[in-house]
Amino acid sequence: MLEARDLMVFYENMLALNNVTIRCEAEEIVGVFGANSAGKSTLMYAISGIMEDIRKKEEMAGGERITILGTITYLGQEITRVKPSKRAKMGIILCPERRRIFKESSVLENLRIGAYLASPSQARETMDYVFTIFPALQKLKKRVGGFLSGGEQQMLAIGRALMAQPKVLLLDEPLLGLSPLIQAILVRTTKEIRDEKKISIVITEQYARPVLPIIDYGFILENGAAVLEGTREELLGNPDVRSAYFGV
């Protein structure tokens, strides 16, 4: 349902994504794994369309030249040049790296801001849903985002993304810097969200191991190139992959 084909992104002459093709089918959880600087965020920006905005802003400001090549299709429609706001309306919602919640706004306000694409009844329903899957947030409704722990901020960031009614949720390194216990909660909840909301999820991580149990399919990025892909079983069955990426 979502495919990025032969994607190339240059920051000036620096090739950040080199001919990357990735796919995510309906109701799948797809993992994209790679070390620091492998190109994970660039890929998420390209799929969500934010890369187009960054490119235009840089061009207007006379800053660095960003070039994007390749095609992105969603539900049979090419969206390579479609604005990020329109992609969000189509259901492609990014939950960005390092959470980026509104630190001065309360939990409730953050969630309401996320609901800009939802009808009032969808917003009410989704807010209840967010508090069901993240009960920790329920008690913190009035607290401002900046005073939440890292794990709570990540729950809020995912909650805010859900408020926008995603059909494809892009989670960029949601586990970064969090304790194994919080990571386990977030991984379990990610699967619950897919199962209950019947949406597709693309999740990037530096370390594959914590999310491996929930992915249907995975890609490995190295220096901007997709060097390997396969089902969870295929990736796990590859001895090089096991030791290099999964630490198992």
| Among the listed residues 116, 107, 60, 68, the one whose alpha carbon sits nearest the alpha carbon of residue 88 | 116
Q: How far is the CB of 10 from ligand ATP (least distance, A)?
A: 9
Q: How far is the CB of 22 from ligand ATP (least distance, A)?
A: 13
Nearer to ligand ATP, 12 or 104 (CB): 12
Cα separation, 75 vs 2, in Å, equals 6
Residue 65: CB minimum distance to ligand ATP, A:
10
Q: What residue ranges bind ligand ATP (CB under 6 A)?
A: 11, 14, 16, 34, 36-42, 64, 97, 206
Q: Which is nearer to ligand ATP, 189 or 223 (CB)?
A: 223
**Min dist. Cβ of residue 15 to ligand ATP (A):** 9
Q: How far is the CB of 57 from ligand ATP (least distance, A)?
A: 11
Which tokens go with 121?
């009844």
Antiparallel, parallel or unpaired: β 92-95 and 168-172:
parallel
Nearer to ligand ATP by C-beta: 43 or 123? Answer: 43
Whichever of 33 and 134 has its CB closer to ligand ATP, that residue is 33
Nearest approach, Cβ of residue 34 and ligand ATP (Å): 5
Give the nearer residue to ligand ATP in terms of CB position, either 14 or 227: 14
Residue type for position 185: I
Tokens of 203: 């999740």
Identify which of residues 71 and 223 has a Cβ nearer to ligand ATP in the complex: 223
- Sign of the Cα pseudo-torsion (12, 16, 21, 22, in order): negative
Name the H helices within the chain: 40-48, 50-60, 84-90, 107-114, 120-133, 135-138, 150-163, 180-197, 232-237, 239-241
| Measured distance CA(201)–CA(166) in Å, rounded | 9
Gap between the Cα atoms of 199 and 85, Å rounded: 19
